[in-house]
Structure formats: structure tokens, C-alpha cells
Amino acid sequence: MITIETPIGPFSMTGNGFAVTQARFGNPDLPDGEVPEQAVKALHAYFDGDFHALDSVPVQQSGTPYLEHCWDVLRTLTEPITYTEFAHITGKPHAVRAAAQGCARNLIALFVPCHRVLRTDGTLGGYRWGLDIKRALLEHERLIVAGTR
């Protein structure tokens, strides 16, 4: 387990030597585990302005087949989308609540970017690590895409 100071606050992660298995902002109370060095480097690169730095870092978390599919789909998002759009791209367009659970049950912040999913009206919705963190992450990414970070 490691905790790294970021511009948004302390970020802790744990792993199994190959993949990140949990990651979060705030409370560093995570199981002990070996974090891949690639994850640490990628986290620094992301906050230095490399939008895609986290994409290739292996992650591993367990859930139902649909939740695991949701987490895989989240890793493909390159811009904010709505929960409705998220449900559609998971292949279950009428299962918006189930897709939202994919975000709510995600234990790997940033590497599985559930912060990129918004309510239909464009508001933030929920975020396990707080709306201020979600807002800051979206702003950070907006600045990267705009070329100002």
C-alpha cells in the first residue's frame, strides 16, 4: 500500500504486485499489498498532464460479470458521459440503475474512471470519494484536453 500526495489530495492504492486492486482519495486504510511501479509512475504522469497515462495500468477487482463489464467499459471512456449513455454502451440501455451500480461499486478510483459518468442533466451525481474530488478531476481533465495543463 502506498499513499501519494496529489494536487487533489492524498491518493492511496494497493495491489497484488501485478495490478492495482484498490485505489482511493482520502482514507488510506487499505489492505497491505504490492503496488506495481508502473501505477505510481502513471499516477504522476496523469497529474502532470498525460490524460492517457493510467490506461495501460493493470487493474483487478471482482464482481458480477455485468459489474466487471462495466469496469472494463469505464476504462474506455475519454470524456464525460451520462449514466444513460453508459448503460447503452454496456449493452443494456434499459439498465441505467445497474450501470450506475458499476460506478458506485468501483473500488479503483482514477484507473477505473467512474468520475467521468454524470447525471442526464449534466450534474455530477454521486462519487464515492466526494463531489469536490469528482469536480476537481473533471476540471483537471478538461484543462488537459484544452492543452492548458
Cβ partners under 8 Å of residue 104, min gap 6: 114, 126, 128
Residue among 114, 117, 118, 137 flagged as catalytic? 114
pLDDT-derived band at 147, boundaries 50, 70, 90? confident
Give the pLDDT confidence of 81-112 residue by residue, as tens digits. Answer: 999 999 999 999 999 999 999 999 999 999 99
The predicted pLDDT at position 27 comes to 83
- Rounded to the nearest integer, the mean pLDDT of the chain is 96
CATH number of this structure's domain 65-146:
1.10.10.10
Question: What is the pairing mode between strands 81-82 and 2-6?
Answer: unpaired
* Annotated catalytic residue 70: no
Could you tell me where in the chain the CATH 1.10.10.10 domains are found?
Answer: 65-146
pTM of the model: 0.95
Give the pLDDT confidence of 104-115 residue by residue, as tens digits. Answer: 999 999 999 999
Buried b / exposed e over 16-47, threshold 16 CB at 10 Å, is eeebbbbbbbeeeebeebebbebbeebbeebb
The helix/strand/coil state of 115 is: helix
